[in-house]
A and B are shown apart, each in its own frame.
Chain A
Amino acid sequence: MRQKLQKILVIDSSSLIALERANLLGKLEYLDFKIIAPKTVSLEVGKTGQKAIRIENLKGRSIKKANSLVGKGFGRGEAECLVLADKLKTGFIVCDDRKLLRQKYLLEDKILEKIEIVGFSFILHMFFRKKQINGIWEVFNDVIEKSNWKRSEVEAANFVFLKEMGY
């Protein structure tokens, strides 16, 4: 049965920076998703000039939840993404942070059980379907190389994603 998820992408700085390095940020506007980044992420990335990315400020209880995650060892940007995704009930975030992938695998935490993590290759997959890129593996290799992710959890996760999607 197909789970119904909202078409919102909450995106972390790790993925945004990787897309920027490969000159792909400008293509985000072609996606059928509303792309949201928490304020901390936008500060980490700096001005992108991308209108496709909406910046969201956390308020009230959401800030407390994010602070609690930071206290448990999560990065501030990743914590805010998780809380925002939980609030918006997206079910997942786009993130390529090695530490968060390890935490997802190793830690037992309520929010990590609810929120899945997809990587930059999810976005490449959609760019490919929208005919915004040719040859997905060339772009994949470019992103991995430019972000220094060779032989990491990030390379493995995104490689497996593409293989599972039939590339």
Chain B
Amino acid sequence: MANLVLDKETGEELDELKKLEDKSRSEIVREAIRDLYLKEKRARENFRFFIDLYREGAINKDMLFILLPRKDAEAVIIGAKAGKDAAKIAKNLGY
């Protein structure tokens, strides 16, 4: 359906994956796109749900990176720390 233009390095990595996983190039590309698509969809539709899971300790950093795009996982980890520290300040002030 589509022609892909890959640079030399990516082409070599795809060939290596093909041997390692015993899958066709098309299968590997399809799986990679599917994985990226699902991560993006999860982040777009359920970002706050994942923040809550992480805040409550129901999932850890590694799980965030598996489930969400890298930039979203980083935002949750950094934001959760900042938010918890900010809440301590507010409580110290008696608010």
A129-B95, A160-B79 as given contacts; A122 in contact with B43, CB under 8 Å: no
Contact indicator A155/B75 (Cβ below 8 Å)? yes
Residues of A within 8 A of B93 (CB): 5, 7
Which residue from A7, A116, A152 sits with its C-beta under 8 Å from B89?
Answer: A116
Structural contact, B78 and A159, CB atoms closer than 8 A: no
In this assembly, does B38 line the interface, its C-beta being within 8 Å of a C-beta of chain A? Answer: no
* CB of B30 closer than 8 Å to a CB of A: no
Highest count of chain A CB atoms <10 Å: which of B43, B88, B89: B89
Q: Is there contact, CB below 8 Å, between B85 and A116?
A: yes
| B79 engages A5 (CB within 8 Å) | no
B83 touches A126 (CB 8 A): no
Given A2-B92, A118-B90, is A158 in contact with B83 using a C-beta cutoff of 8 Å? yes
| A156 engages B80 (CB within 8 Å) | yes
Cα(A105)–Cα(B80), bound, Å: 11
How far is A104 from B87 in the complex, measured between Cα atoms in Å?
A: 16
Residues of A within 8 A of B51 (CB): 156, 159-160
By a beta-carbon cutoff of 8 Å, the part of chain A in contact with chain B is: 2-3, 5, 7, 91-92, 101-102, 104-105, 116-119, 121-122, 125-126, 129, 150-161, 163-165
